[in-house]
C-alpha cells in the first residue's frame, strides 16, 4: 500500500491532525514572538539605562535565559511553577487545584526566551544608531518620546531586522520544545503519528518539509521587510 | 580681557539674543571652558575662531545645552537659564530654548531613515505643530533656496557632502529659528564642495539672520561677520570687528594663530 | 469530526489539574498518564483515540477496582515531573522498572514483561534447534528442567557469534546466562539486524515483539528467520513495566492496582490482551502466585 495514505485528510489519515498541529505551532510561535518583542524592548531599554539597578536586573535576566537550555525554562514554567501558582492562589484565598495549562505555559516560555534574545538584538541596534542623529534631534528640541518614536525606534528596527529574523527562526524551532507539556503542536503530532503508525521516516520527513516551508515563507517576508527598511541605506529615490 | 562693545548698528538698550556670563564647563577634572562671557545681538553674524581644542565647539554646544555647562548663566532673549549653584534649567526649559534655535553640524547629522523632504518637515510638524501642508510648502521654498529642489525625495545617503549640508541648513531654517548655530559647517567637505555651502550661509547673513559660526575659513569670517571672537584655551582671548581683529590682532596668540592658518 | 475530538483530547490534557477527585458522586476518578506514541502498547489512531494494549488493560483493571480511569496525555519526557506536580495520579505508559526510576517514584507490581528471544536464520544449524521451543523460562526461579534447556542452548551457541544491543538489559543478561559465548555489541538494534541478515553474526538477542516484526518483514523479502529456544524473562532481563506513583503517596491506590493486576494475571486476561496486541504473552505468572 502507498504509505502516503497516512497523510490523507479525514478519519483514516493524519493530514488534518498535522494541519491542526502546524496551525498550533504557528499560533504559539506568533504569540511568543510578538510578546517577546514587546517585552524585549523595555528590557533592552533597561540594559541601556543609566539606572544601576535596572541594568543589573535586566542583565541577569538576559544572561540567565540565554544561558540555560530553553527546555529548562519550559520545565520551570510548566512543572516547576506549581508551588508558585499555589502560593498566588492561596494569597487570593482560592483553595482549589491550580496548575499552568500547557498552552499558556508554552506561550509564556516562548515569550520569555524570545524577549531575552530580542532584548540583546535591540540593545545592539540602539547602540548602532549614529550618535549625531540623536544629537540633531535633541538640538531641535524634540521631546524624549518624539525622539524615541520617530528617530530611535525606526532606526533601531532597521539595524535589528536581520537579527530579528534569526530570533523568529529560533522561536519557530523552540515551539517544538513545548511538546514536552503534551500540548498538541506540530512536533507532538508528528511524534504521536510516527509512534502510532510506526512510520517515523515518513512523518519526520513531513515535519522537516513543513518546518522548511515555514522558514522559506518567513525568510521571504523578512527579506521584503529588510528591503523596505533599508531603502534609505541603498539610497533609492521615492517610496 | 575685552569687554563686549555694542556695534554702532545696535540701538542702545537692546536685549542680546543670547548672552553667556562666566560660562564654565569641565569634563571630569579638565576644565575646557574657563569662564566665557559673550553676547550676540539680533541680526549679528559672529564668527568664532581658534585653535583646535580651544573649546569653540564645546561653547556652542553649551549654548543649547547639548553639553550641560558646569556653571554660569545663559540668557536667551533676556530670559535667564541659571546653571550650577542656583536652579538647573529643566528639560522643558531647555527644549523651549532649542525650539527657537537651529543648528548645523560639521557631520551634517541628517536623519538617515528619512528623505530630504521628511528631514525638513518632521520637526516643524511634530515639534512645532505646523500643519503638514504648510510645512511642505515651506520645505519646498527652502530647498529652492539651497538649490536642491530636485532632491526632495532622495535619501541623505545618496547625496554628496555639500548637498547634505545644504539640506541640513534647510532643515535648520525650517523651524524659523531666532538664532542659528553652525559648528564648522564646511570642515568635513571636500575642498571643491566648500563653496556651494559657504554661498548659502553668506546669503543667510545678508538676510540679517542672527548666526554664530565656528569656522576655520578666515576669508569667510572677514567678509561675512559683524564680529569675530577668538578662543584660546577655554577663554575668549580677543574679539571685535573682523577688520580690527583679523588685520591688527592685539593678542600675540591671535597673531600666531592667524599666521598658522594663512 | 475527528479534529474536534482531537481538540477535546487536548483540552483534557490542559485541564489535568482541575478538580481532582470529586466529580461523579458514586465512582472515584483516577487519572493515568500515557504518551500515546508507543505502538502497540499505547498509541493514537488518526481520529485521536487512544488504543493499544494498555488502554485495554486499563479498561479491565479499573473495572475490577470499581474506579473511573481517565487518560491524561503527557509527553514521555515530562512525565515524572508532571506526576510530582499532581497533574495525574499515576503513570501507565510502558514505564520499565529500573533502580534509578525507583528512587523517584513508587512502582506497582509489573503488569507486563516482554519475553526476550534468540533469533537466527531458519536455514542454519541454529534454525533447526528444537530444545525448549514454546516454553517460557523465568531466569530468577529456574527449575532443574529449565537449567537443562539453558545448558542445551549454551552448547548450541558454542561456536557462534551472538549480537546484543548495548543500551538494553540484554548484554548483562547474556553474559550471565551464557558465559563464554562470543558476543558482538551494537549501539543500534537496526545495525544488529542488518548484520544478522548479512550473516556477519549467527544469532541475535531481542525483545519478542520486535523479533516477530523482523521475522514477518524478512518473510516478505523471501528470507526465513526463526526465534529459537525458550522465551526468557526475569532475572537480569529486568522486572518488566509497571505503574508509577508519587514517592511515598497513594499507597492505598497502589495496593488496589496491585490487587487488580494479580487478578487479571491469574484469570489470563493480561495474557490474552498482550497476545492480541503484541503477539506474545507478556503476563507475569509470579504475580498471580502472590
Ligand atoms: N565629551 C568630552 N569628554 C571629554 N573631553 C572632551 C569632550 N568633548 C570635548 N572635550 C575636550 O574639550 C576640549 C575642547 O574641545 P572642543 O571640541 O570644544 O574644541 P574645538 O575648539 O571645537 O576644536 P576643533 O577645532 O578641533 O573642533 C578638547 O581638549 C577636547 O578634547
Ligand atoms: Mg570643534
For residue A165, being part of any structural domain is answered with yes
Of B95, B123, B157, the CB nearest to A235: B157
My answer on whether C26 and C98 are in the same domain is yes
Interface test with A, best of C85, C188, C277 (most A CBs within 10 A): C85
Q: What is the pLDDT of residue C25?
A: 53
Distance B58 CA to ligand 1 centre (A): 6
| Cβ–Cβ gap A12/C13 under 8 Å | no
My answer on whether C73 and C173 are in the same domain is no
For residue B7, being part of any structural domain is answered with no
For residue B61, being part of any structural domain is answered with yes
Nearest to C16 by CA among A82, A22, A27: A82
Nearest to B154 by CA among A158, A135, A233: A233
Examine the pLDDT at A236 and tell me if it is beyond 70: no
Percent of chain A with pLDDT over 70: 92
Count: domains in chain A: 1
Q: Looking at beta carbons, which residues of chain C come within 8 Å of A183? A: 10, 13-14
Q: Looking at beta carbons, which residues of chain A come within 8 Å of B129? A: none
| Ligand sitting nearest the alpha carbon of B59 | 1
My answer on whether C183 and C254 are in the same domain is no
Domain, as residue range, for B89: 14-100+178-189+215-262
ipTM for the whole complex: 0.90
Q: Within a 13 Å sphere around the CA of C70, how many CA atoms are in the beta-carbon half?
A: 20
**DSSP letter for each residue of C102-142:** HHHEEE---SB---EEEEEETTSTGGG--TTTT-EEEGGG-
For residue B124, being part of any structural domain is answered with no
Distance B59 CA to ligand 1 centre (A): 9
My answer on whether C105 and C202 are in the same domain is no
Q: Which atom belonging to ligand 1 lies closest to the Cα atom of B216?
A: 25
Q: What is the pLDDT of residue C114?
A: 86
Mean pLDDT of C122-132: 89
C neighbour chains, 3+ CB pairs within 8 Å: A
As separate numbers, helices (DSSP H) first and strands (DSSP E) second, chain B gives 9, 10
Q: What is the pLDDT of residues C136-187, one digit of tens each?
A: 888 888 889 999 999 999 999 999 999 998 866 788 889 889 999 999 999 8
Examine the pLDDT at B11 and tell me if it is beyond 60: no
Q: Which atom belonging to ligand 1 lies closest to the Cα atom of B106?
A: 27
Examine the pLDDT at B8 and tell me if it is beyond 70: no
A235 touches chain B (CB under 8 A): yes
For residue B60, being part of any structural domain is answered with yes
Count: domains in chain C: 2
Q: What is the pLDDT of residues C5-22, one digit of tens each?
A: 444 444 444 443 343 444
Q: What is the pLDDT of residue C21?
A: 43
For residue B202, being part of any structural domain is answered with no
Going by alpha carbons, the residue nearest to atom 5 of ligand 1 is B27
My answer on whether C205 and C232 are in the same domain is yes
Q: What is the pLDDT of residues B17-48, one digit of tens each?
A: 999 999 999 999 999 999 999 999 999 999 99
Examine the pLDDT at C208 and tell me if it is beyond 90: no
For residue A239, being part of any structural domain is answered with no
C81 touches chain A (CB under 8 A): yes
Q: Which of residues 123-182 of A touch B (CB under 8 A)?
A: 130, 132-133, 135-144, 146, 150-151, 154-155, 158
For residue A180, the domain's CATH number is 1.10.3720.10
Count: domains in chain B: 1
Interface test with C, best of A192, A194, A199, A207 (most C CBs within 10 A): A192
Distance from CA of C246 to the nearest CA of A (A): 14
CB A211 within 8 A of CB A43: no
Rounded Cα gap, residues B209 and B216, in angstroms = 20
My answer on whether C195 and C153 are in the same domain is yes
Q: Within a 13 Å sphere around the CA of C41, how many CA atoms are in the beta-carbon half?
A: 19
Q: Which of residues 191-210 of A touch B (CB under 8 A)?
A: none
pTM: 0.81
What average pLDDT does the structure give for chain B?
91
C43 → chain A, closest CA residue: A196
Examine the pLDDT at C116 and tell me if it is beyond 80: yes
For residue A77, being part of any structural domain is answered with yes
The terminus-to-terminus CA distance of chain B in angstroms comes to: 25
Task: Among B24, B55, B230, say which to mutate for ligand 1: greatest number of ligand atoms within 8 Å of CB.
Answer: B55
Q: Give ligand 1 pocket residues (Cβ under 6 A).
A: B 27, 32, 50, 52-58
- Cα C192 versus chain centre, distance: 21
| Ligand sitting nearest the alpha carbon of B56 | 1
Rounded Cα gap, residues C216 and C212, in angstroms = 6
Mean pLDDT of A97-114: 86
Going by alpha carbons, the residue nearest to atom 9 of ligand 1 is B58
For residue B126, being part of any structural domain is answered with no
Domain, as residue range, for A192: 3-234
Q: Within a 13 Å sphere around the CA of C177, how many CA atoms are in the beta-carbon half?
A: 33
Q: Looking at beta carbons, which residues of chain B come within 8 Å of A140? A: 98-99, 102-103, 123, 127, 171, 175
For residue B153, being part of any structural domain is answered with no
Q: In what order do the strands lie in the sheet with B30-40?
A: B30-40, B18-27, B71-76, B79-83
Q: What is the pLDDT of residue C10?
A: 42
For residue C223, the domain's CATH number is 3.40.190.10
Handedness of CA B62, B64, B66, B70 (dihedral sign): positive
Q: Do chains C and A touch (3 or more CB pairs under 8 A)?
A: yes
> Torsion over CA of B186, B189, B191 and B197, rounded to 10 degrees?
-50
Mean pLDDT of A72-86: 79
- Cα B222 versus chain centre, distance: 17
My answer on whether C268 and C211 are in the same domain is no
Q: Looking at beta carbons, which residues of chain B come within 8 Å of A231? A: 155
Distance from CA of A128 to the nearest CA of B (A): 13
Handedness of CA A180, A184, A189, A190 (dihedral sign): negative
- pLDDT confidence bin for C273, thresholds 50/70/90: very high
For residue B20, the domain's CATH number is 3.40.50.300
> Which residue in this structure is represented by grid cell 556477519?
C200
For residue B170, being part of any structural domain is answered with no
CB C247 within 8 A of CB C105: yes
My answer on whether C142 and C180 are in the same domain is yes
Domain, as residue range, for C126: 116-237
Rounded Cα gap, residues B137 and B131, in angstroms = 10
| Cβ–Cβ gap C10/A78 under 8 Å | no
> Torsion over CA of B86, B91, B97 and B100, rounded to 10 degrees?
-170
Amino acid at each position: 500500500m502507498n504509505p502516503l495514505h497516512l497523510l490523507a485528510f479525514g478519519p483514516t489519515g493524519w493530514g488534518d491532525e498535522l494541519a491542526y498541529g502546524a496551525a498550533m505551532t504557528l499560533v504559539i510561535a506568533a504569540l511568543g514572538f510578538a510578546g517577546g518583542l514587546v517585552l524585549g524592548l523595555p528590557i533592552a531599554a533597561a540594559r541601556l539605562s543609566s539606572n544601576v539597578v535596572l541594568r543589573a536586573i535586566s542583565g541577569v535576566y538576559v544572561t540567565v535565559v540565554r544561558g540555560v537550555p530553553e527546555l529548562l525554562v519550559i520545565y520551570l514554567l510548566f512543572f516547576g511553577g506549581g508551588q508558585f501558582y499555589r502560593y498566588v492562589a492561596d494569597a487570593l484565598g482560592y483553595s482549589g487545584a491550580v496548575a499552568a495549562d500547557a498552552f499558556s505555559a508554552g506561550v509564556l516560555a516562548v515569550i520569555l526566551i524570545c524577549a531575552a534574545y530580542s532584548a540583546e538584538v535591540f540593545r545592539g541596534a540602539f547602540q548602532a544608531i549614529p550618535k549625531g542623529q540623536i544629537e540633531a534631534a535633541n538640538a531641535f528640541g524634540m521631546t524624549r518620546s518624539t525622539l524615541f518614536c520617530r528617530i530611535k525606534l525606526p532606526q533601531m528596527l532597521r539595524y535589528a531586522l536581520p537579527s530579528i529574523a534569526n530570533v523568529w527562526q529560533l522561536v519557530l524551532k523552540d515551539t517544538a520544545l513545548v511538546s514536552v507539556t503534551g500540548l498538541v503542536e506540530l512536533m507532538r503530532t508528528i511524534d504521536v503519528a510516527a509512534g502510532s503508525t510506526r512510520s517515523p521516516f515518513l512523518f519526520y520527513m513531513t515535519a522537516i518539509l513543513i518546518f522548511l516551508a515555514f522558514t522559506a515563507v518567513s525568510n521571504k517576508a523578512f527579506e521584503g521587510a529588510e528591503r523596505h527598511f533599508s531603502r534609505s541605506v541603498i539610497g533609492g529615490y521615492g517610496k | 580681557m575685552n569687554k563686549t562693545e555694542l556695534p554702532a548698528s545696535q540701538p542702545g538698550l537692546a536685549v542680546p539674543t543670547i548672552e553667556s556670563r562666566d560660562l564654565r564647563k569641565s569634563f571630569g577634572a579638565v576644565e575646557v571652558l574657563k569662564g566665557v562671557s559673550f553676547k550676540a545681538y539680533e541680526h549679528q553674524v559672529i564668527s568664532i575662531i581658534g585653535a583646535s581644542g580651544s573649546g569653540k565647539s564645546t561653547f556652542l554646544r553649551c549654548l543649547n545645552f547639548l553639553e550641560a555647562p558646569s556653571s554660569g548663566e545663559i540668557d536667551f532673549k533676556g530670559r535667564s537659564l541659571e546653571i550650577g549653584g542656583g536652579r538647573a534649567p529643566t528639560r522643558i526649559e531647555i527644549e523651549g530654548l532649542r525650539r527657537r534655535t537651529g543648528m548645523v553640524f560639521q557631520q551634517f547629522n541628517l536623519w538617515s531613515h528619512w528623505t530630504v523632504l521628511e528631514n525638513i518637515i518632521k520637526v516643524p510638524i511634530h515639534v512645532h505643530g505646523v500643519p503638514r501642508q504648510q510645512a511642505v510648502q515651506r520645505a519646498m521654498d527652502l530647498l529652492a533656496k539651497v538649490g536642491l529642489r530636485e532632491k526632495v525625495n532622495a535619501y541623505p545617503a545618496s547625496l554628496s557632502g555639500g548637498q547634505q549640508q545644504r539640506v541640513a541648513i534647510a532643515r535648520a531654517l525650517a523651524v524659523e529659528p531666532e538664532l542659528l548655530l553652525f559648528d564648522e559647517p564646511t570642515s568635513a567637505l571636500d575642498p571643491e564642495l566648500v563653496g556651494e555651502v559657504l554661498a548659502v550661509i553668506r546669503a543667510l547673513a545678508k538676510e540679517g539672520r542672527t548666526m554664530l559660526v565656528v569656522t576655520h575659513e578666515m576669508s569667510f569670517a572677514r567678509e561675512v561677520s559683524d564680529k569675530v571672537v577668538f578662543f584660546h584655551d577655554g577663554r575668549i582671548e580677543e574679539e571685535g570687528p573682523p577688520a580690527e581683529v583679523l588685520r591688527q590682532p592685539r593678542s600675540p596668540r591671535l597673531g600666531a594663530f592667524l599666521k598658522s592658518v594663512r | 469530526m475527528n479534529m474536534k475530538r482531537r481538540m477535546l483530547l487536548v483540552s483534557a490534557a490542559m485541564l489535568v489539574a482541575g478538580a481532582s477527585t470529586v466529580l461523579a458522586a458514586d465512582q472515584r476518578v483516577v487519572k493515568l498518564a500515557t504518551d500515546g506514541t508507543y505502538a502497540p502498547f499505547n498509541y493514537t489512531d488518526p481520529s485521536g483515540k487512544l488504543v493499544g494494549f494498555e488502554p485495554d488493560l486499563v479498561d479491565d483493571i479499573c473495572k475490577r477496582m470499581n474506579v473511573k480511569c481517565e487518560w491524561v496525555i503527557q509527553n514521555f519526557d515530562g512525565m515524572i515531573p508532571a506526576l510530582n506536580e499532581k497533574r495525574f495520579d499515576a503513570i501507565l505508559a510502558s514505564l520499565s522498572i529500573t533502580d534509578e526510576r525507583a528512587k523517584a517514584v513508587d512502582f506497582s507490581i509489573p503488569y507486563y514483561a516482554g519475553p526476550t528471544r534468540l533469533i537466527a536464520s531458519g536455514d542454519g544449524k541454529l534454525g533447526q534447534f528444537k530444545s525448549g521451543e514454546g516454553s517460557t523460562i523465568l531466569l530468577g526461579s529456574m527449575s532443574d528442567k529449565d537449567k537443562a534447556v539453558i545448558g542445551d542452548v549454551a552448547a548450541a551457541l558454542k561456536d557462534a557469534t551472538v549480537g546484543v544491543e548495548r543500551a538494553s538489559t540484554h548484554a548483562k543478561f547474556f553474559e550471565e546466562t551464557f558465559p563464554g559465548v562470543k558476543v558482538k555489541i551494537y549501539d543500534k538494534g537496526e545495525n544488529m539486524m542488518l548484520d544478522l541478515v548479512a550473516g556477519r553474526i549467527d544469532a541475535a538477542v531481542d525483545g519478542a515483539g520486535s523479533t516477530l516484526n523482523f521475522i514477518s518483514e524478512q518473510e516478505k523479502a523471501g528470507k526465513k528467520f526463526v526465534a529459537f529456544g525458550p522465551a526468557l524473562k526475569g532475572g537480569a532481563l529486568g522486572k518488566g513495566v509497571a505503574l508509577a506513583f508519587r514517592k511515598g503517596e497513594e499507597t492505598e491506590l497502589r495496593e488496589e492496582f496491585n490487587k487488580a493486576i494479580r487478578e487479571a494475571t491469574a484469570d489470563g486476561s493480561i495474557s490474552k490482551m498482550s497476545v492480541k496486541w503484541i503477539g506474545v504473552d507478556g503476563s507475569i505468572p509470579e504475580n498471580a502466585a502472590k
